[in-house]
Amino acid sequence: MYKFSLACSTINAGHPTSCLPDREACKDGKNGKLVDWFRSLKPPSPVEWTLISGSTCIYTAKPVDVLAEIAAQIGRAFQESPIQPATIGSQPGPHTLRGQDTNFYADAHQQDFDVILLGQKVHITATPVAYTWNYGDGTVIGPTVSSGAPLPEDRIGEQTKTSHAYGATGKYAITVTTHFNGSYSVNGGPTLPIADQGHFTSAPLGLTVWRAITLNYADDCNTNPNGVGC
C-alpha cells in the first residue's frame, strides 16, 4: 500500500521530513506542493508506514487526491500508450515445407513514455514479459516467457520452444501478442507498479507452406540427356 503526505508533516516518532519551501522547490507549475511518499506491507495491523521518497513536487491544491486519481487512471493510460509490439521473424521464410519445424521468434524491448495526467508529469515504463503465439492455422500457445531466437543456418529445421510444423499447405498469417508489465512515477517520485498488464499484438507475418515431392527416374542423364528428370 502507498500513501502521500505534505512534506514537513510530523511522522515516524516525531521526526519531520524535508522542509524545503514550496515556492523554491516546485517551480514547474502553479500550486506546487512538496509531498512525501510512504509504503506499507499488507496486511500488518496496525499499519506501519515507511518513508520511501521525500520532497516530490505535486502541482495541485490537493496532492493526495490527485495522486490517488492518477493511480486510478494509470491503467487506462498504460493501455493507450504508443507501445510497439514485438516484430516476428521466421526460419525458413517467407516459404516453408509442410511437416517441417519452422522456427519463429519475437523481438520486443522495454519502452519509456512521458505523459501528462491531471496536470502532472507521469513517466511510464513498459517491459515485455510474456508472449502468446498464433500460428494462423488454429494453433495458439502461451502466454510463454520464451520469445524465441534466430537459429544458425545449419540448425534451421530443428524443433524449438516457439517452432511450429504445419500439417497442410497454404498461406498463413502469424501473429504474437506481447504482454507488458508497467510501472510509473509522478513528477520524479518513486516508481510504482501498474496493476494490469498491457497486451499488444504484432502485425501479421505472412508465410506460405509448400509440400515437397520426391521422384525417382530410371534414365541415366549421362547417356540420355533428354531423359525424364534430366
* H-helix or E-strand spanning residue 230: none
User: Is the preceding peptide bond at 63 cis, omega within 30 degrees of 0?
Assistant: no
Percentage of the chain with pLDDT > 70? Answer: 74
Give the Å distances, CA to CA, from 40 to 56, 150, 191: 18, 44, 15
CATH of domain 87-210: 2.60.40.10
* Lowest-pLDDT choice from 54-63, 153-162, 210-219: 54-63
Quick one: average pLDDT of 53-72? 70
Flag whether pLDDT at 10 surpasses 60: no
What residue type is assigned to position 210 of the chain? W
Quick one: average pLDDT of 202-211? 96
The single-letter DSSP state of residue 80 is T
Flag whether pLDDT at 110 surpasses 50: yes
Closest among 104, 82, 80 to 166, alpha carbons compared: 104
Q: Give the mean pLDDT of the chain.
A: 83
Q: Which residues pair with 38 in a beta bridge?
A: 3, 51
Q: Read off the pTM.
A: 0.69
Please return the burial class of 199, using the count of CB atoms within 10 Å of its CB with bins 0-12, 13-18 and 19+: middle
Read off the pLDDT band of 7 (50, 70, 90): low
Closest among 146, 32, 3, 45 to 86, alpha carbons compared: 146
* Lowest-pLDDT choice from 12-26, 50-64, 84-98: 12-26
pLDDT at position 152, please?
A: 96
pLDDT at position 67, please?
A: 77
CA 63/CA 61 separation, integer angstroms: 6
Between 53 and 144, the more confident residue is 144
The single-letter DSSP state of residue 211 is -
Grid cell 500550486 in the structure block, residue? 31
Going from N- to C-terminal start, the domains of the chain cover 2-59, 87-210
pLDDT at position 23, please?
A: 46
Quick one: average pLDDT of 114-126? 91
CA 131/CA 146 separation, integer angstroms: 7
* Lowest-pLDDT choice from 3-12, 127-136, 148-157, 204-213: 3-12
Flag whether pLDDT at 94 surpasses 60: yes
Contact 37, 71 (CB under 8 A): no
